[in-house]
Amino acid sequence: MKTEEEPRPKIGTSIFDFGNYLQYFLMSALVVTVTVLIIFEPSGAATSANSSHPRSILGFVAVLGLSLILTLVNGIWRRVVVGRPVKKILAATEKLTNGDFTARIEPSPSSLRSSGNELDVIIANFNIMAAELGSVETLQTDFIANVSHELKTPLAVIQNYATMLRDPELAASDRDVYAAKISQATQRLSELISNILRLNKLDNQHIAPKNDTFLLNEQLEEVLVAHEALWEAKNLDLRADLDDDITVTSDRSLLELAWNNIVSNAIKFSNDGGSLAVSVQKVMGEGKGDPHLARVRVTDSGIGMDADTRRHVFDKFYQGDTAHSGQGNGLGLALVARIVEICGGAISVESELGQGTTFTVDLPL
């Protein structure tokens, strides 16, 4: 599934780069060597035995002092360059482990450029991870709230019409209408529970897809025929371009569920008198030497999506168009994305507001 990702900084000059170590080594060697040469420089005649011993001690002390100074300088540098960011990272990770998903690390000035060191990348990745975890937490909370709402709505309809059906003076025509409303509500409730169970099974269990071998065009034709009443009711212009020699080996029942959801979704969001196009072709993968793929495209001329809706269209219970929220429960496309992933494929969406939507599914042959 293709998603829009935030840009991440690339590693530029590394704090562990060989050049940094070489500079520090050359600087230390130069300073110590020059100091030793100055201290041990012979003054005219050969150094007497009496003066060599004190001079050796003096040289030893000088080397120790210089080494101590260089060590302190290097320690201060590491504390500023490495120590401060590490303390920020530790503090933020502690907040995150305590459930505070708002924890963020303020980036260093170097990370504001196009590149940074490893610590800059760690900080950037941590902030992205914290944001993603916060989104997951929000989605879980919204999932529970949405499930409760979706269950209450048909149950309330059933309860209200069942109460009205108990009226002994109710006309027979009204009884039929109320009974039909109860039937519709129970069907919606049944579909909701079925989709929740399917999605939960696909999300939390390792599903090994069946190896059914079948013609993909025949399966898509069956799906279109099954939805004939729906697209004819909207007077949609159906265009089908289905290659008849594309055989796939995948899970037939799972893919049928995916096509049903994509096609019904396209019909639902199409305007009356619009168009619906379904195609399947054999294409090459994007990389050199990649195997052939079966590419299925479903295009409608409906209301389209904005950028925010495109980013969340495969999220559970997400419904970008509230005007059509009563016609679904926001699980269909989440279910489709999980099925395509299990079958080893990829799904993407292209859409502009008011200009229709195209879903593209690539499946390995």
Q: Which fold has domain 212-364?
A: Heat Shock Protein 90 (3.30.565)
Q: How far lies 160's CA from each of 37, 42, 166, 184, 329, in Å?
A: 100, 109, 10, 13, 21
Tokens matching residue 282 = 């054999």
What pLDDT does residue 21 have?
A: 61
Provide the residue ranges of all domains of the chain, joining segments of one domain with +.
6-41+51-205, 212-364
pLDDT tens track, the chain, 365 positions: 444 444 555 555 555 566 666 666 666 766 766 666 666 555 544 445 555 566 666 666 666 667 667 767 776 777 777 777 888 888 888 888 887 878 888 877 655 555 667 777 888 888 888 887 776 666 666 666 666 766 777 788 888 888 888 888 888 888 888 898 888 888 878 877 776 776 666 666 566 667 889 999 999 999 898 888 888 889 999 999 998 888 998 888 888 888 988 998 889 888 888 899 999 998 876 655 556 889 999 999 888 888 878 887 877 655 555 444 444 445 678 888 888 888 889 999 998 888 889 999 999 87
Tokens matching residue 38 = 């100055």
Three-class DSSP category at 132: helix
Q: Which fold has domain 6-41+51-205?
A: Helix Hairpins (1.10.287)
What pLDDT does residue 119 have?
A: 77
Do domains 6-41+51-205 and 212-364 share one topology? The answer is no
The residue behind tokens 């079966």 is: 294
What pLDDT does residue 45 have?
A: 45
What pLDDT does residue 137 have?
A: 66
